[in-house]
Chains A and B, each alone.
Chain A
Amino acid sequence: MNAPVQPSMLIKGATGDWEVVIGLEIHAQVTSKSKLFSGASTEFGGDPNAHVSLVDAAMPGMLPVINEECVAQAVRTGLGLKAQINLRSVFDRKNYFYPDLPQGYQISQYKSPIVGEGTVVVDLPDQDSFTVGIERLHLEQDAGKLLHDQHPTMTFVDLNRSGVALMEIVSKPDMRSADQARAYVTKLRTILRYLGTCDGDMEKGSLRADVNVSVRRPGAPFGTRCEIKNVNSIRFMGQAIDYEARRQIGILEDGGVIEQETRQFDAVKGETRAMRSKEEAHDYRYFPDPDLLPLELTQAYVDALKAHLPELPDEKKARFIRDFALKSEDAGVLVSERESADFYEAVLGQLADKARDGKLAANWVINELFGRLNKEGGAIATSPVSATQLAAIVDLIGDGTISGKIAKDLFEIVWTEGGDPRAVVETRGMKQVTDLGAIEKVVDDIIAANPDKAEQAKAKPAMVGWFIGQVMKSSGGKANPQTVNDLLKTKLGL
């Protein structure tokens, strides 16, 4: 499937090259109003135990009732990952004791998940795109939150998160560098946000990664892996992988063996360390939850969800390239965030001739707008130049009303002062001069004033650039550059 690992991805050890193998389990919070099995709110924050029903608190005799939207969201996500949707899946109980787990078990899907194998295509700058296999996606309950710093001898338990729906998305061990892992998570997050099935907000814990890392000699069988739990930023994930790979290589090169264990990333020290004590081997005693029937879906239900799926980044990118001849890289930038793509589409939607100016619009969105936003640290949602305004600017360039140079001035005015670009062009006299007579007069004047330069130009045609500059300068940039060029060539006899 994937080409042999590129030499640049290998890690140099003291005894030779090593290859790092990475697989990810992503816990993505399902976007829904209420919890997976109760009617309590999923809203972030809230007073302690406010978003908690008697079901979430596991009172005696309480029973789970599944939220149809969470099921639909999981199916949508599966479709977005080009994955197998299982028409029959089963909820199991994963049994263990922990104070953030009120039932004494997590309702999850073990043997029969709702989504099976799929794929994610990931792009990396200056590299070929690569594919990460999806092993499965299953629905499960989130746990509550423990606060350890409120009291000298007690831990505080808040069950607001308890029972919120999560999608656990398990990748195959298809990544070979921290860069690839980061790019995969970024891409997965983009897909989830396009689908609207997870907001991808890592700060609020909506997306958490368990990172499985092992190392091996290139081409050798997989090594023993360690799982780094609950990494909550893409940057930390990269650091954790690099540290962990180095650690494992160090052990192996010293003649040691890797012990399979669960580790934790310490962002302050930038290192991973073994987590729970090893004395307790986990034995989760999975079995089908007898409070829930098997989850059965019809193909018609899946098809209906599929029919209403939004266009996903890969398809959108292909369409931008096909319809507007965008460069692959530019199309990639536009689709990388749903907001960017939406903005570009909004601009397209308002262009007078999008077949003609679609590519121009892409350049303006990427270079002028995003460039400016980046520089000033602004977000698309609060951009001072709206899609409508930008479309008007592109229209004015496209139909020859203003030159590209003037357009930059216009953009600056609209950015700082706002207003309808067409009106600004009108009131400030920014229109490009296309009147042949007016331009001809300027051209004649300049040639007359610079006879020596005109002579030189005949021998050295590149000198025409100097004349163009002079003409543009004296016309205040409003002369149509093409017309000026044509006139100069005739008058100078080039």
Chain B
Amino acid sequence: MSVDAATVRRIAHLARIAVKDEEVPHLQGELNAILAFVEQLSEVDVGGVEPMTSVTPMVMKKRHDVVNDGEIADVVVANAPATEDHYFLVPKVVE
């Protein structure tokens, strides 16, 4: 499989990465090189094979239902580019 220019743009948008028009052919070439490389997987017979979900088989531990975190709004917003009154600020979102 290989990607066309429109797909490159669609993927970039899905990944929220701005791509300039002049970058598209180059990206397209790179992505297609990688896709061509991984193409060899299609020759593997994976019939009846379970996909790996966890490489180390074990039971997932769970936490108790206790409140032992939070109440650190100062810390939570300390690294944010834009804040006010402990809110994060983003450009106006239209719903």
Contacts and interface: CB of A to CB of B under 8 A. Distances in A.
Direct contact of A and B (CB under 8 A): yes
Interface string B82-95: 10111111111101
A47 interface: yes
Contact of A49 (B14, B87, B91): B87
Interface stretch (B19-27, B34-42, B69-77): B69-77
Nearest to A264: B95
Describe B's contact surface by its main secondary structure. Answer: loop
19 contacts: A32-B65, A34-B63, A34-B67, A34-B68, A34-B69, A38-B69, A39-B68, A49-B86, A53-B72, A66-B62, A67-B65, A97-B16, A99-B88, A150-B84, A151-B84, A154-B90, A159-B88, A295-B60, A296-B60
Contacts of B82: 154
Given A154-B92, A293-B59, A41 B70 contact: yes
A105 to B, nearest CB: 12
B83 to A, nearest CB: 9
A262 B68 CA distance: 38
B60 A293 contact: yes
Contact of B62 (A38, A48, A53, A71): A71
Contacts of A295: 60
A158 B87 contact: yes
A156 B84 contact: yes
- Enumerate the 7 nearest inter-chain pairs by beta-carbon distance, A residue then B residue, closest first: A40-B70, A69-B65, A39-B69, A68-B62, A53-B69, A293-B60, A156-B87
Contacts of A52: 70, 72-73, 76
Interface residues of A, number: 51
Interface in A129-165: 146-148, 150-151, 153-159
A66 B65 CA distance: 9
Given A151-B84, A294-B53, A53 B70 contact: yes
Interface string A36-55: 00111100000111111111
A65 interface: yes
Nearest to B63: A65
Contact of B92 (A50, A70, A148, A293): A148
Contacts of A67: 62-65
A157 B89 contact: yes
B51 to A, nearest CB: 8
A39 B70 contact: yes
Nearest to B11: A283
Given A34-B65, A65-B62, A294-B54, A147 B87 contact: yes
A460 B26 CA distance: 109
B58 interface: yes
A50 B70 CA distance: 6
Contacts of B73: 47-50, 52
A21 B62 CA distance: 40
Given A39-B63, A70-B65, A99-B93, A156 B70 contact: no
A108 B86 CA distance: 28
Interface of B: 14, 16, 53-54, 58-73, 75-77, 82, 84-93, 95
A433 to B, nearest CB: 60
B90 A99 contact: yes
Contacts of B60: 66, 292-296
Interface of A: 32-34, 38-41, 47-57, 65-71, 90, 97-99, 146-148, 150-151, 153-159, 275-276, 283, 285, 288, 292-296
B50 to A, nearest CB: 11
Given A65-B63, A71-B62, A285-B14, 20 more contacts: A38-B69, A40-B67, A40-B69, A41-B70, A41-B71, A50-B73, A51-B70, A52-B70, A54-B69, A54-B72, A54-B76, A65-B61, A67-B63, A68-B62, A148-B92, A148-B93, A156-B84, A157-B89, A293-B58, A294-B53
B16 to A, nearest CB: 5
Contact of B76 (A49, A65, A153): A49
A48 B65 contact: no
Nearest to B90: A99
A81 to B, nearest CB: 22
B13 to A, nearest CB: 8
A454 to B, nearest CB: 77
Contacts of A288: 53
A62 B66 CA distance: 18
B89 A155 contact: yes
A48 B93 contact: no
A56 B67 CA distance: 13
A294 B53 CA distance: 7
A97 B73 CA distance: 23
A164 to B, nearest CB: 12
A27 B71 CA distance: 26
Nearest to A51: B70
A90 B75 CA distance: 32
A11 to B, nearest CB: 30
A155 B94 CA distance: 9
A294 B88 CA distance: 33
A284 to B, nearest CB: 10
A157 B73 CA distance: 12
A68 B72 CA distance: 24
